[in-house]
Every structure is written in structure tokens, then in C-alpha cells.
Amino acid sequence: MLKNNPVMKKLVETGEERVGKLAQQLLSNEKFVAAVQGLVSRSLAAKGTLDSALRTALSAMNLPSTADLEQLRSKVDDLERLLASVEGKLDTLVSNTSSKKKA
């Protein structure tokens, strides 16, 4: 109902236009862009510090980190592939042995 209202359409169009102009002005302002880049940089540094502290805390409590779990998952996947390979070879060996006994 509001979507078909011409007044609402005009308000939305005007709002979109003003927001677009504001975004363009902000992105053309070097100080604003530098401030955003600095904020992102500091946020990433803080995340790195937090990740490191979390790994240390988990290690102190003898708990695995996400990286430890991923490494374990990789090893389990490798073992599953190896086991499937051995199983396939064993099946081939058993079927060859069975065929020779029948002949």
C-alpha cells in the first residue's frame, strides 16, 4: 500500500539521492577516508591481539583452539582416505584370492 503511494515514492527517491550525495562527499574527503582506514587497521590489530590472547588462554586451560580442531579434522580426513584405500586393496586381494580358489 505504501509502495504505490506517490508521496512515499518521492520521499524514498529524495532520501536515496541525499544519502548518495552524502556518501560521495564523505568518500571524497581525505580526512574521513584516512580515519576509516585507521579505524579498520586498529580493529584488525585488536582482533589479532584478541585471537592471540584467546589461544594462550585456551592453551593454559588445556583446551584446543579452532586451528587445533581444523588440524585434527585434516588428519582424520587423511586417515579416512588411507583407510578407504586399504579397504579397496583388501577387497581386491580377497576377490582375487576367491577367484583363484574357484578355478
Model pLDDT, residue 1? 58
Q: Are 58 and 64 in contact (CB under 8 A)?
A: yes
Q: What CA–CA distance (Å, rounded) separates 1 from 79?
A: 60
Model pLDDT, residue 98? 78
CB atoms within 10 A of CB 58: 14
Q: What is the pLDDT of residues 62-85, one digit of tens each?
A: 999 888 899 999 999 999 999 999
Contact residues for 26 (Cβ-Cβ < 8 A; gap 6+): 32
- How many residues are recorded in the chain? 103
Model pLDDT, residue 103? 62
Distance of CA 102 to the CA centre of its chain: 55
Q: What is the pLDDT of residues 9-56, one digit of tens each?
A: 888 899 999 999 999 999 999 999 999 999 999 999 999 999 999 989
Rounded to two decimals, the pTM is 0.50
